[in-house]
Amino acid sequence: MYGSLCHSPAREFGILREAMNDLFSGVSGAVHEFPPVNVYTNDNGAVAKAELPGIDLEQLELTVANSVLTLKGTRGCADLKNDVRALRSERIRGSFVRALNLPFKVDGAGVSARFDKGVLTVTLPRAESDKPRKIAIATA
Amino acid sequence: MTVTETPNAVQTAYQACCAESSTCEGAASSKKVFLPRADIYETKDTVELYADLPGVDEKSLEITLEKSVLSIRGKVVPVVPEGYKAAYVEYSEGDYERSFKLAEEIDCDDIKATIKNGVLHVSLNKAGPAQARKIEVKVS
C-alpha cells in the first residue's frame, strides 16, 4: 500500500510502536492502513473522515463510483538537502490508495469534501434511487 | 539510517503510553492520549522537528519548555457528525502528548513553532560554539 517509502526501517519501528500502542490502548484488531478512516452513517448517507496531516491537496484525488469512495494520493518526502541528517523518521510517507465500499449507492453530484486541521471530511449523500420506498398496499 | 551513532541533539525524554496517561489523568477524563509521530532533522545550524497532530490547531496546542524538556500537548475534541452513527472506525480521537529532551547545544531562548494542516513544525537553533576565553591573571 505504501508505494515509495523513503525509510523502510522506520516503518518497521512504526509497526512495532503501533503494536505496543494497541497493547496499551485496549484497541484490538485496529487497522493500520494509511490514511486511517472513520465512516459514520445514517439513513440518508454517510460521512467519511480521514487523518491526512500535512497532505498537499494537489496530490490527493477523491473519486466516487456507485458505492465506492476512493482516496488516492501521495504524502511526499521532505525536501532534504545534503547536509541534513534524519535523527528520527516516524511519519508515514509515500503513495496510498484506499477504497471504501459503502452500504449504499452514492449520489455522486451531492458529494462534498472539506479539509481542516489535517482531517479530511467527505459527506456522501445516499442516491435517491437507492433509498427504500414505502409501498402502499391496495385493498381489493 | 545512522541515527543511533549520531550525537542526538534531541531525544525523546519519555513516551507516555496511552494506558499510563489516561490513568494518570484519573476520573477527570477518560479521553485517550496518543503519541504523535515525529520526524527530526538536524542541519548545520538548526534542528527541525515535525509532528503529526491531526485535528489540532494553534488554539488547542500547548508547547512548554521546562528544564530543557520540550513538551507538546494538543487537545482534540472528538466529533461524531451530528445525526450520524459510527459505522466503521479505524482511528479514535484523543489528545496528543509527547516530550523531547533538548541537548545543551540547543538555544532554549530561540525556539519557533508553527502548525499548519495538522503538522507541527518546531525550529530549534543550535547555540553558537562556546568561545575560548583567555583568563587574565592579575598580580595580587
Q: What pLDDT is stored for residue B11 in this prediction?
A: 56
A22 CB neighbours in chain B (<8 A) are: none
What pLDDT shows up at residue A84?
A: 86
Q: In terms of C-beta density within 10 A (0-12 exposed, 13-18 middle, 19 or more buried), how is residue A91 classed?
A: buried
Q: Report pLDDT for A15.
A: 67
Q: What is the pLDDT of residue B22?
A: 37
Architecture of domain A8-79+88-129: Sandwich (2.60)
Q: What is the ipTM score, two decimals?
A: 0.73
The domains of chain A are located at 8-79+88-129
Taking contacts as CB-CB distances below 8 angstroms, the residues of chain A near B3 are 86-89
Q: Is residue B55 part of a domain?
A: yes
Q: Give pLDDT, residue B26.
A: 40
The verdict on residue B4 lying in a domain is no
Number of domains in chain B: 1
**A84 → chain B, closest CA residue:** B43
Mean pLDDT in residue range B117-121: 95
In a domain? residue B136: no
Task: Please indicate whether, in this complex, the C-beta atoms of A87 and B92 are within 8 angstroms of each other.
Answer: no
> What's the rounded Cα separation, in Å, for the pair A4 and B109?
38
Give the integer Cα–Cα distance in Å for B73 and B60: 8
Whether the per-residue pLDDT at B5 is higher than 70: the answer is: no
Residue B66 is part of a domain; what is its CATH number? 2.60.40.790
Q: Does the residue B104 lie in any domain?
A: yes
Task: Name which residue leads in pLDDT, A89 or B84.
Answer: B84
Write out pLDDT tens, residues A33-92. 899 999 999 999 999 999 999 999 999 999 999 999 999 999 986 666 778 888 888 998
| Contact call for A14 and B37, based on CB within 8 A | yes
Whether chain A has a CB inside 8 Å of the CB on B124: the answer is no
Mean pLDDT of chain B: 80
Mean pLDDT, rounded, for B78-105:
91
pLDDT, tens digit (0-9, with 9 covering 90-100), for B32-81: 899 999 999 998 889 999 999 999 999 999 999 988 899 999 999 888 99
B19 touches chain A (CB under 8 A): yes
Helix/strand/coil percent split, chain B, to 5 = 10, 45, 45
Q: For residue B129, is pLDDT > 90?
A: no
The C-alpha R_g of chain A, in whole angstroms, comes to: 20
The reply to whether A56 touches chain B by the CB within 8 Å rule is no
Higher pLDDT, B9 or B139: B139
Kindly state the cell numbers that stand for B118: 495538522
pLDDT at A110 over 90: yes
Task: Assess if residue B2 is contained within a domain.
Answer: no
% residues pLDDT > 90 (chain A): 59
Q: Is the CB of residue B24 less than 8 Å away from at least one CB of chain A? A: no
Q: How far apart, in whole angstroms, are the C-alpha atoms of residue B103 and residue B114?
A: 21
For residue A40, give the nearest of B3, B8, B86 by CB distance: B86
pLDDT at A26 over 60: no
CB-based contact, A67 to chain B, within 8 Å: no
- Whether A119 has a pLDDT exceeding 70, the answer reads yes
Beta-carbon contacts of A14 under 8 Å, excluding residues fewer than 6 positions away, are: A90, A92, B37
B13: closest CA among B65, B53, B80? B65
Residue B120 lies inside a defined structural domain of this protein: yes
- Summary mean pLDDT of chain A: 84
Q: Is residue B62 assigned to a domain?
A: yes
Q: CB distance from A118 to chain B under 8 Å?
A: yes
From the list B43, B54, B87, the residue facing A51 with the nearest CB is B54
Tell me the residues of chain A between 89 and 108 that have a Cβ less than 8 Å away from chain B.
Answer: 89-92, 100, 103
Integer Cα distance of A4 and B123 in angstroms: 27
B53 contacts in A (CB within 8 Å)?
A: 53, 118
Q: Is residue B16 part of a domain?
A: yes
Predicted local distance difference test score (pLDDT) of residue B133? 74
Best residue of B43, B59, B89, B96 to probe chain A, by most A CBs closer than 10 Å: B89
Instruction: Tell me the residue range of the domain where B122 lies.
Output: 10-79+91-126
Nearest CA in chain A to B55: A117
Phi-psi map region of A133: left, alpha, beta (phi>0 left; psi -120 to 50 alpha)? beta
Predicted confidence (pLDDT) at residue B3 exceeds the cutoff of 50? no
What is the reported pLDDT for B15? 40
Is the pLDDT reported for residue A29 higher than 90? Answer: no
The whole-angstrom distance between A77's CA and the closest CA on chain B is: 11
**Is B9 a residue whose pLDDT tops 60?**
no
